Amino acid sequence: MNKFLSNKEVKFLSSLKQKKFRKQYNEFVIEGEKLIFESLNNNQIIKKIVYSKKIKNFDKLRKLSSEKNIPLHLCSEKDSQRISDTKNSQQIFALIKCNDIKELSDIKKHKNEPFIILDGISDPGNMGTILRTCSWFGCYNIIITKECVEIYNPKTVRSGMGAHFHITNIINDDNEKIIKFFKDNQYKIYSASLSGKPIENLKIKDKKWALILGNESKGISKYFEKNSQQIHIKGMGKMESLNVAEAASIVIHYLSKI
Amino acid sequence: MNKFLSNKEVKFLSSLKQKKFRKQYNEFVIEGEKLIFESLNNNQIIKKIVYSKKIKNFDKLRKLSSEKNIPLHLCSEKDSQRISDTKNSQQIFALIKCNDIKELSDIKKHKNEPFIILDGISDPGNMGTILRTCSWFGCYNIIITKECVEIYNPKTVRSGMGAHFHITNIINDDNEKIIKFFKDNQYKIYSASLSGKPIENLKIKDKKWALILGNESKGISKYFEKNSQQIHIKGMGKMESLNVAEAASIVIHYLSKI
């Protein structure tokens, strides 16, 4: 039988639903067996796994955790609900160390890989979905501007479906330094916009591209707009705009063809 | 000064957050000026508009409502919060008649337009986002299977961003009848799947196509799988799947090129 989680520990895990505590401790909580497997398989630093007695058959997870010396703790169903960010808790959690947020000066070898720049994405679900799409298409360098929702927001982690563990570089830097980095490295800089060149007209030659995705209501910030080639997905007129995660999917799919 | 909303009316509007009451009265509530304008501009049947005194400048909306003889009612901020489906109410609402859900036998003239078939989409946000994408690309015929979340779910309406008012035909029918309809009308039937032909290999000749989008975890149902050409969006391997709304965007963008 595994050790029962103390009330203090329940409180601590529950506190990590708040950004300030995630920032303070540099840790976050994930929920559900699928996400825990994904973190285990992608060499994340897992501090502990917590489960309620409702979780019965998890021998595979138990074995894997024991191989990696990850402590397992039991908690009550009620405590599970306190730890959970959702109405119906999945009754199993892992406490995980956040990955380091880098600056562009830390990125020495980027092997001419694509970069995605999230410029003020405010909806956590959108951010998670975009990360999932990035991972699907093999875009593992993500730049997040200061105006974005936090990447470890529980909703972002949930909709990311494990993408957080695939990203090679999570980067945060000033807008000027971002543009300078890509110009210095001879990257093409595109931004998804409501005007600009139709995407079908683009000729993509290599993987040296960076794509800027803007805020849900304000779009791309002025500085990025001036310093990028705006690309556009042609619509039929009745709808004012596409959701940013949808625009992201279409553009990343298009740019990833090479 | 407009008439104050009675407590009974507040209760009624609030009850429409529940599916059973939406079904019973065939009405739903939308929230926010933007969505209300969208409904006004698309000839929806608007029973009343309700706003709290926090809403000050809405002369344009007031004028448009008066032209269309739509009654305006005041409510308290507290009542506004009772009516709202969100934590932070936008303090302005419209009560709207649901559009009729048709059967395929009602669809006489479809002018060889594309159809989107939602096969058990369970997340209301996904459904709304897909409808928004459909509207962007001019796909106005939507078939919804019985396993789907309700199209007038408040979250679906919210993420649809007005797409509900652009759809020409909302259709509900048996899976067998759906396939028969498209076969009889010589449509190409595609389904977005994790296997099948890469989408880039498809040659699209005309707008006579129907696209099936499956449930978030179970995918396309067996009967549809057997009776459609499965198409696939090539990924890089780390991520198990794309979100269905993202797959929808990529495939609809691709099929809409003609």
Single-letter residue type at A216: E
Q: Are residues B51 and B105 in the same domain?
A: no
Q: Are residues B189 and B240 in the same domain?
A: yes
Which positions in chain B touch A246 (Cβ < 8 Å)?
129, 132-133, 136, 245-246, 249
Q: End of a domain among B64, B81, B97?
A: B97
**pTM, two decimal places:** 0.96
Tens digits of residue pLDDT in B12-50: 999 999 999 999 999 999 999 999 999 999 999 999 999
Residue A1's pLDDT is 66
Residue B161's pLDDT is 97
Instruction: Give the helix/strand (H/E) hosting A141.
Output: strand A141-144
Nearest to A94 by CA among A159, A21, A166, A29: A29
Which positions in chain A touch B166 (Cβ < 8 Å)?
238-239
Q: Are residues A108 and A84 in the same domain?
A: no
Q: Are residues A20 and A81 in the same domain?
A: yes
Mark yes or no for CB contact A132/B163 under 8 Å.
Answer: no
Paired sense of beta strands A72-75 and B188-198, if any: unpaired
Nearest-angstrom CA–CA distance, B36 and B14: 17
User: Would you say the C-alpha torsion A85, A91, A97, A100 has a positive or negative sign?
Assistant: negative
Q: DSSP 3-state assignment of B239?
A: coil
Q: Are residues A248 and A120 in the same domain?
A: yes
Residue A179's pLDDT is 98
Residue A143's pLDDT is 98
Q: Are residues A200 and A228 in the same domain?
A: yes
Residue B56's pLDDT is 86
Contact B170, B204 (CB under 8 A): no
Q: Are residues B45 and B127 in the same domain?
A: no
Q: DSSP 3-state assignment of B52?
A: strand
Give the residue numbers spanning the domain of B212.
Answer: 101-255
Chain B residue with minimal CA distance to A163? B239
Q: Are residues B195 and B155 in the same domain?
A: yes
When CB atoms are compared, the residue of B136, B243, B249 closest to A236 is B136
Q: Are residues B119 and B238 in the same domain?
A: yes
CATH code where residue A91 lies: 3.30.1330.30
Collect all residues with Cβ–Cβ distance below 8 Å to B8 and sequence separation of at least 6: none
- List the beta bridge partners of residue A74: A4, A51
Q: Is the ipTM of this complex over 0.90?
A: yes
Q: Are residues B225 and B111 in the same domain?
A: yes
Q: Give residue for tokens 């008012």.
A: B165
Q: pLDDT 10s digit of each residue in chain A, 258 long?
A: 678 999 999 999 999 999 999 999 999 999 999 999 999 999 999 999 999 999 988 899 999 999 999 999 999 999 999 999 998 999 999 999 999 999 999 997 667 899 999 999 999 999 999 999 999 999 999 999 999 999 999 999 999 999 999 999 999 999 999 999 999 999 999 999 998 999 999 999 899 999 999 999 999 999 999 999 999 999 987 999 999 999 999 999 999 986
Q: Would you call B87 an interface residue with chain A, using a CB distance cutoff of 8 Å?
A: no
Q: Which of B:123-152 have CB within 8 Å of A?
A: 125, 129, 132-133, 135-138
Q: End of a domain among A66, A81, A97?
A: A97
Q: End of a domain among B45, B75, B97?
A: B97
CATH code where residue A184 lies: 3.40.1280.10
Contact A93, A39 (CB under 8 A): no
Structurally, chain A folds into a number of domains equal to: 2
Chain A residue with minimal CA distance to B252? A250
Tens digits of residue pLDDT in B100-158: 999 999 997 667 899 999 999 999 999 999 999 999 999 999 999 999 999 999 999 99
Q: Are residues A110 and A199 in the same domain?
A: yes
Strand order in the sheet with B141-144: B101-102, B169-171, B141-144, B115-119, B209-214, B188-198, B229-232
Q: How distant is the Cα of A153 from the closest Cα of chain B, in angstroms?
A: 18
Q: Between chain A and chain B, how many beta carbons pairs sit less than 8 Å apart?
A: 95
Which positions in chain A touch B233 (Cβ < 8 Å)?
136, 253
